[in-house]
Amino acid sequence: MNYIGSKSSLLQFLEESINKVVDTDCTTFCDLFAGTGIVGRYFKQKGYKIIANDIQYYSYVLNRHYIGNHKELNFAKLSKKIPELNNVKINKRKNFVCDYLSDLKGVKGFIYENYCLGGTKDRKEPRQYFSDENGMRCDAIRQKIENWKRQKLILDDEYYFLITSLVESIDKYANTASVYGAFLKKLKKTAQKNLVLEPASLIINSQSHKVFNEDINELTQKVKGDILYLDPPYNHRQYATNYHLLETIAKYDNPKIHGKTGLRDYNDQKSLYCSRSKVKTAFKDLILKARAKYIFLSYNNEGLMTLEDIKEIMRLRGQYGYFTKKYHRFKADKTKNRNYKANKTVEYLHYVKLSKNRNLV
Ligand SMILES: C[S@@+](CC[C@H](N)C(=O)[O-])C[C@H]1O[C@@H](n2cnc3c(N)ncnc32)[C@H](O)[C@@H]1O
């Protein structure tokens, strides 16, 4: 997924830098601003036990699958409803179920009625986030997954796999420039194609992992690990507004929505890390409460906190240092309205080795 602040192209830099700092007996990696889960996934594959968290529910869903699921999914109960499943090899059943859902006839549900032209054309503020066909396909798939869960035909692991597959797939057909803060007037090419549900990849290993959906400052005292990796928002752009539609598809909770973009209420998900006046206090609180041997922080040179702020706060816990890498900025930032000087920013990986006297592990 094309996600603001995604670390997908910085994974090697993160790993190489982290390995220069940590000792070899570290086994637990905490990714507590997890977003797409790409960092946790990478370190899960390297053999770490992962603890993941994010305040957004769609992110919880992605991490609950990519991180939390670590055994093959066999859809054993669903075969009562779809007997053909019994003839499918276990490792192909994920594809079979996704194909089955892709073939469903579309229905006019919450997404069609509120985010497609067909459902909104007679309103004061028509919306076109998806083609009519894809809105209806999305509704049909999402409703079927929920019905299967309600009827206990799928296990939680299977449920989160299916919703992850839907969130990741529908995002590829969205009629947006990249995020959900606005939609395009005309249906772009990729939005005209019909939604196909692609099965999300599954990383199988023998470890069990933990996944949370909480405000990090609330969670941090409840978890401990060797390596705490922090990747907060860098600026004022709230994830709750930029990805509101993914939140609604993941929750499918018929929320009250308002305005041109059909925004849901996000009071509980407003991040302090997006507020210039509040971020330092929140970050200091987090660093002081953290329970780990090492803390790493991704941030860039244009973020709301200055490098001095970060250094001053992280040094409170022990020996501080940092690594840097030049980085191409996120695509959606390339608008005329934004007043950035360069296409490249400097990405920092700050770290602190926690001193024994303040180390709470
Ligand atoms: C820079 S993104 C993380 C990107 C992620 N590392 C990736 O590569 O996909 C920051 C994430 O922090 C989450 N977030 C913001 N404030 C939070 C908070 N107070 N507690 C937990 N998560 C928060 C956002 O929802 C967003 O997913």
Pocket test for ligand 1, best of 13, 31, 43, 271 (most atoms within 8 A of CB): 271
Q: C-alpha angle with apex 332: 326 to 333, nearest 5 degrees?
A: 55
Both tokens of residue 270? 């407003």
Q: What average pLDDT does the chain have?
A: 95
Taking only the tens place, the pLDDT of each residue in 308-335 is: 999 999 999 999 999 999 987 765 544 4
CB of 323 closer than 8 Å to CB of 13: yes
What confidence category does residue 188 fall into, taking pLDDT thresholds of 50, 70 and 90? Answer: very high
In contact, 235 and 30? CB cutoff 8 Å = no
- Within 151-278, where are the H helices? 156-171, 189-192, 216-219, 239-242, 244-251
Atom of ligand 1 at shortest range from CA of 7:
8
Q: Tell whether the model's pLDDT for residue 342 goes beyond 80.
A: no
Q: Which residues line ligand 1 (CB under 6 A)?
A: 3, 5-7, 33, 35-36, 38-39, 54-56, 59, 215-216, 231-233, 239, 271, 273
**Cα distance between residue 296 and residue 231, in whole Å:** 9
* Residue 231 pLDDT greater than 80, yes or no: yes
Give dist(CA 209, CA 231) in Å, integer: 19
Predicted local distance difference test score (pLDDT) of residue 334: 46
Q: What is the mean pLDDT of residues 206-227?
A: 96
Nearest CA to ligand 1 atom 1: 5
Beta strand 263-264 with 294-300: parallel, antiparallel or unpaired?
Answer: unpaired
Of all protein residues, the one whose alpha carbon is nearest to atom 15 of ligand 1 is 271
Residue 356 pLDDT > 80, yes or no?
no
Report the separation in Å between the CA atom of 192 and the middle of ligand 1, taken as the mean of its atom positions: 30
Residues 57-69 have pLDDT tens digits of 999 999 999 999 9
Which of 54, 168, 237, 296 for mutating ligand 1's site (highest number of atoms within 8 Å of CB)?
54
DSSP state of 130: B
Rounded to the nearest 5°, which phi and psi values hold at 353? -90, 115
Residues 6 or more apart whose Cβ sits within 8 Å of residue 352: 287, 294, 295, 314, 315, 317, 318, 319, 320, 321
| CA 327 to ligand 1 centroid distance, Å | 19
Q: How far is the CA of 235 from the centre of ligand 1 (A)?
A: 12
* The pLDDT value given to residue 328: 77
C-alpha distances out from residue 22 to 18, 19, 209, 294, Å: 6, 6, 21, 7
pLDDT mean over 279-302: 97
Contact 44, 50 (CB under 8 A): yes
What atom of ligand 1 comes closest to residue 8's alpha carbon?
Answer: 8
Ligand 1 centroid – CA 153 distance (Å): 32
List C-alpha distances in Å: 87 to 72, 124, 162, 257. 17, 51, 20, 44
User: Ligand 1 centre from 202 Cα, in Å?
Assistant: 22
Q: How far is the CA of 358 from the centre of ligand 1 (A)?
A: 26
240 CA: nearest ligand 1 atom: 25
Atom of ligand 1 nearest to the CA of 5: 1
Q: How far is CA 183 from CA 57, 176, 186, in A?
A: 22, 5, 9
Is the pLDDT at 339 greater than 90? The verdict is no
User: Do 328 and 270 meet the contact criterion of CB atoms below 8 Å apart?
Assistant: no
Spatial separation of the C-alpha atoms in residues 17 and 43, rounded to whole Å: 13
**Nearest ligand 1 atom to alpha carbon 232:** 10
* Alpha helices per DSSP H over the chain: 11-21, 38-45, 57-63, 93-102, 110-115, 117-120, 132-150, 156-171, 189-192, 216-219, 239-242, 244-251, 279-289, 307-314
Looking at the CA of residue 33, tell me the nearest atom of ligand 1.
Answer: 12
Domains of the chain (ranges plus CATH)? 1-68+206-233+271-361 (3.40.50.150), 71-202+240-270 (no CATH)
User: pTM for this one?
Assistant: 0.95
**Distance in angstroms (rounded) separating the CA atoms of residues 222 and 244:** 28
Query: How far is the centre of ligand 1, averaged over its atoms, from the C-alpha of 81 (Å)?
Result: 38
Which tens digit of pLDDT belongs to each residue from 232-256? 999 999 999 999 999 999 999 999 9
Please state, for a pLDDT cut of 70, what percent of the chain lies above it.
Answer: 95
